[in-house]
Amino acid sequence: MKVPAQEISQDRKRIEKDRAKKVFALLKKNYPEAKIALDFNTPFELLVATILSAQCTDARVNIVTPDLFRKYPTLKSFAEADRRELEKDIKSTGFFRQKAKAVMNCSRAIVEKFGGEVPRTMEELLTLDGVGRKTANVLLGNAFGVPGIAVDTHVRRLAQRLGFSKTDDPTKIEFDLMGLFPKNNWTTLNHLLMSHGRKICIARAPKCEECILNELCPSAFSFSSGKSRNPVEKKKGKKSEN
């Protein structure tokens, strides 16, 4: 008797969800303290730190932000900052002109359109200059407790290597992961994948021998001389990261 295609695909989904559950449990056991690496005290500080973290390490951002938030303690002070001076203040995070512009535009928009409070919905956050789904999900998950998956370079790489997503499009990866993991785990999953990506599943030379996921990972031991046999990575070529 022929099994209907719909049933086969539901079975596959169940198997993948089961594998996802095991991956989550192992990561959680291994990184019980995993949390966001950016330092912040308020939603607005997190927004600024996240904008500054584009193409920059979180460690570098954490060096810059204490003085920055002392100098510009409110949204209004960022909105009214001298652009050139702000550029100098954040220069070491790279792309400082675009970032200064985004921070100032965001601050003005929040003051003018949202009564000085960082908005709490994806839809509203996406109206802010320099805020895409990744930044919005960082804000929602870490400042407001709204589950979200921010697809950065580590999350993208891990999702692909673990076979949870076959695309290179961050939004599709986000939705692929959302379909496999329960909503209440999304923000934690984010931190876990980032921790594992920084420590073990490194872009150029993943440490598969040491990896707690190697029995569940379809890409395990498929890397040699910095070359990946993972089809998504092969297609786009190797990329460096922070």
Active site residues: 134, 152
Measured from the Cβ of residue 126, the count of other Cβ atoms closer than 10 Å reads 13
Amino acid at 137: N
CA 107 to CA 74: how far, in whole Å?
9
Q: Which is nearer to ligand SF4, 68 or 149 (CB)?
A: 149
Q: Does 201 contact ligand SF4 by CB under 6 A?
A: yes
Rounded to the nearest whole angstrom, what is the least distance from the CB of residue 32 to ligand SF4 in the complex? Answer: 19
Q: Does 217 contact ligand SF4 by CB under 6 A?
A: yes
Q: Where are the alpha helices (DSSP H) in the chain?
A: 5-30, 43-52, 58-71, 75-79, 83-90, 96-113, 122-125, 133-143, 153-161, 170-180, 186-199, 231-236
Q: Among residues 206, 225, 235, 239, which is the contact residue for ligand SF4, using CB under 6 A?
A: 206
Q: Does 99 contact ligand SF4 by CB under 6 A?
A: no
User: Quick one: tokens of 12?
Assistant: 């596959």
Binding residues for ligand SF4, rule CB under 6 A, total: 13
For the segment 134-173, give every residue that binds ligand SF4 (CB under 6 A): 161-162
Q: Which stretch binds ligand SF4 (CB under 6 A): 69-77, 97-105, 134-142, 207-215?
A: 207-215
User: Quick one: tokens of 219?
Assistant: 């890409």
User: Where does this chain bind ligand SF4 (CB under 6 A)?
Assistant: 161-162, 200-201, 206-208, 211, 213-214, 217, 219-220
